[in-house]
Amino acid sequence: MDFDYFYRRDGERYSFYMLPKVLVTDDRFKNLSSDAKVLYSCLLDRNELSNRNGWIDEEERVYIIFTINEIMECLNKSNRTAVKILTELEKIGLIQRKRQGLGKPNLIYVMDFMTGLDCECNNYTPEVKNLHSRNVESTLQEVKKVHGTNTNNINTDNSNTYFKGEQKVYGGFKNVFLSDRLDECQ
């Protein structure tokens, strides 16, 4: 394969899985395999999608469904290795699986890795969580700048920068297009 060089191109044109730095730097996770860290990143991504789609149990906990076959395909691993990686994440406490029975896939609860950690992120308190979960329109003017841009799309595999329908386009910069259309924000 011949790959091209990077030329001052915008890296935001790709979809990314977020690998939390603490999984690499904290001693509690030093024995966790690289495959398990990558899978946890995939599970975190799917957890956010489940949250947006309302996959919440009776105790208000977000769950995901990520089958062994999906893990095998995602990581290009065998069935045995996929099960081993899931078990590794479960043993360390980063996930919990709940069997549904009757041939249904397990529900997976992705656990919050920041719970109980003393690291450089010790300012991550429930107050900060609430601040980031608020709607920007209902936030005080003084803290509106704290909110980052929501780059998460429902379909995390594709990034579509084309607008649908007719609108007057005023111009663009990098991946931002200025138009008279207000209802199509993704």
Query: Tokens representing 154?
Result: 């429902």
Give the span between the Cα atoms of 53 and 156, in whole angstroms.
13
Give the span between the Cα atoms of 40 and 94, in whole angstroms.
8
Question: Per residue in 52-94, pLDDT tens?
Answer: 999 999 999 999 999 999 999 999 999 999 999 999 999 999 9
Give the span between the Cα atoms of 49 and 31, in whole angstroms.
28
Q: Is 90 helix (H, G, I), strand (E, B) or coil?
A: helix
Give the span between the Cα atoms of 88 and 97, in whole angstroms.
12
Question: Per residue in 147-160, pLDDT tens?
Answer: 444 445 445 444 44
Binning pLDDT at 50, 70 and 90, where does residue 7 land? low
